[in-house]
Amino acid sequence: RLLIVDFGSQVTQLIARRLRELNVYCEIHPFQQVDDTLLDEMAPKAVILSGGPASVIDADSPRPPQKVFELGVPVLGICYGQQVMTQMLGGQVERGDGTAEFGRAWVVPTEERIDLLAGWFMDGSGREQVWMSHGDHVAKLAPGFAVYGTSPGAPYAVTADLERRFYAVQFHPEVHHTPNGRTLYENFVKDAGFTGDWTMGAYREEAIQKIRDQVGDAKVICGLSGGVDSSVAAVLIHEAIGDNLTCVFVDHGLLRQGEADEVITMFRDHYNIPLIHADERDLFLGELTGVSDPEVKRKTIGRLFIDVFQKHANEIEGAAFLAQGTLYPDVIESVSFSGGPSVTIKSHHNVGGLPEKMGLKLVEPLRELFKDEVRALGRELGLPQSFIGRHPFPGPGLAIRCPGEITPEKLDILRKADAVFIDQIRKHGLYDEIWQAFVALLPVRTVGVMGDGRTYDYACAMRAVTSVDGMTADYYPFSHDFLGETATRIINEVRGINRVTYDVTSKPPGTIEWE
């Protein structure tokens, strides 16, 4: 296995992600916990020193144990990792007053090519795009090291001691903006003798062991939303601790057609996981009567959700942990890579603050994973593909797809129209190409003519977008035939709608949801 020593970079998890993509098993350990004992126990086949916010010039800056360099295995230092390695092995690092470098940069190779960069500089331009984010820089190489790549702001962009197999780069090969970064990792792990035989099945075993170690004999509560993340978390935890897990499924009446039944059947009947079905539809719809402001809707739902969840969770005696399907992007979302401030466009409905309020500790077994990895883990756990491949669904549910005041009648119409739209998308084999698709019921009535009569019914908007992460999105280019056929089906099959539109707004400037 491979050890990643974490010096606190916001993108350390991405290193792990790149390695998992190469089917290499790795463990991230915070630098404070990496000592000689851990190195002996783990006996890593390679070590990566991550980036981090500190400056090696400061006296108390974090360091790995010297032993890392005595193991006889390849070591790769990234950014801060490069600097700490240089410093500890006898080189010099300077404070980059005024020469800090952030963002895109181009590395060019020196005359001698190294295997670490095999596959780089192939596009004819003679250079390779990388992502830099550093203030300090290497000023003098450590003995044994040479330079193998430079950039305008980093004359020591790539350095190495080939004899000892120590490699160091000033840029971040793990981020998306270093397009060929994956190749660099591939070369590194090959050098270390990894064969790429590690799988999601192995991850599952490790995750189960970790949950057992953390939770012991204690009881765990898990809030199930019907989404992929909480479902995978629940099934995984159930494998780890059996019936010491109880799930709480809050039905707020804002779910899609058939969704509540599906969740209950799957968890209770198929997986035999203890499940409390909190049918609180009347409470939520009652409190939402007369509410039309989107933020008030979200806040009302969020507040009620916490109350209700707490009420039902209190029925579970002796619970000490709350399980959450937090993913890695949730962990980094608040601190963007550029470090820029982020503004609240919409307040996201979540259960933040709940663990403290209830005096529960958190279990977050998916914290290191990205969405597609969660899906792979779900498949590994035997969750049906139809469930795993599902589009994301927002916590406040249909409430934010029904602009204006919500009524049971409107929700009923919306559910039916949404089900027709999704059915059409599935029938045409388009579901997996689309990030998210749904119908929004508009708070306007329009005049139409059906048969011999005049109608005065609701209009709706179909929305379907492609996206990688929900942060930006584009509308899906359905054929006109598809749009026409679907509009006809909705009007014929759903009483209460007599006009169908298709939303062709991208994000930005639009958002995916209508509220």
Q: Which stretch binds ligand XMP (CB under 6 A): 14-22, 101-109, 346-354, 447-455?
A: 346-354
- Could you say which of 101, 174, 239, 373 is catalytic? 174
Q: Determine whether 174 is an active site residue.
A: yes
CB of 470 to ligand XMP, least distance (A): 4
Q: 179 or 389, CB closer to ligand XMP?
A: 389
H helix runs in 294-451, sequence order: 294-313, 328-333, 354-358, 371-380, 385-388, 408-427
- Residue 229, marked binder: yes
C-beta separation of 436 from 330 below 8 A = no
Run of H or E including 182:
helix 181-191
Span near ligand XMP by CB under 6 A; candidates 266-274, 321-329, 387-395, 414-422: 387-395
CB of 136 closer than 8 Å to CB of 105 = no
Are 137 and 93 contacting, i.e. CB atoms less than 8 angstroms apart? yes
Say if residue 97 carries a ligand binding annotation.
no
Among 8, 96, 470, 496, binds ligand XMP (CB under 6 A): 470
Position among 348, 379, 445, 489 found at the interface with ligand XMP (CB under 6 A): 348
* Residue 513 lies near ligand XMP (rule: CB under 6 A): yes
**Binding of ligand XMP by 394 (CB under 6 A):** yes
Give the DSSP letter of residue 392. P
Q: How far is the CB of 128 from ligand XMP (least distance, A)?
A: 33
**396 is an interface residue for ligand XMP by CB under 6 A:** yes
> What is the DSSP pairing of strand 453-466 with strand 436-450?
antiparallel
Candidate list 26, 79, 247, 402, residue with the active-site label: 79
* CA 32 – CA 161 distance, rounded (Å): 26
Q: Residue 357 and residue 486: Cα distance in Å, rounded?
A: 47
Is 259 a known active-site residue? no
Closest alpha carbon to 370 in 176, 177, 223: 176
b/e for 14-39, b at 16 or more Cβ within 10 A? bbbbbbbebebbbebbebeebeeebb
226 is in an annotated binding site: yes
In the complex with ligand XMP, the residue whose CB is nearer, 131 or 305, is: 305
Binders of ligand XMP among residues 278 to 337 (CB under 6 A) are 298
List the one residue from 349, 375, 463, 499 that touches ligand XMP (CB under 6 A).
349
Residue 227 in marked binding region = yes
**Closest distance to ligand XMP from the beta carbon of 437 (Å):** 11
- Determine if 259 is a binding residue for ligand XMP (CB under 6 A): no
Indicate whether 392 belongs to the interface with ligand XMP (CB under 6 A): yes
Nearest partner of 305 among 327, 322, 280, judged by Cα? 280
> Would you call 460 a catalytic residue per the annotation?
no
Strand partners, 507: 473
User: Per the annotation, does 230 bind a ligand?
Assistant: yes
CA atoms of 127 and 123, how far apart (whole Å): 8
Of 119 and 404, which CB lies nearer to ligand XMP in the complex structure?
A: 404
Please tell me the distance from the alpha carbon of residue 139 to that of residue 156, in angstroms, as a whole number: 8
According to the annotation, is 232 in a ligand binding site?
no
Task: State yes or no: residue 512 binds ligand XMP (CB under 6 A).
Answer: yes
- Tell me the DSSP string of 138-204: EEEPPTT-EEEEEETTEEEEEEEETTTTEEEESS-TTSTTSTTHHHHHHHHHHHTT------HHHHH
The residues annotated with a catalytic role in the active site are 79, 172, 174
Binding site listing: 225-231
Residues that bind ligand XMP (CB under 6 A): 298, 346, 348-349, 392, 394-396, 436, 470, 507, 511-513
Binding site listing for ATP: 225-231
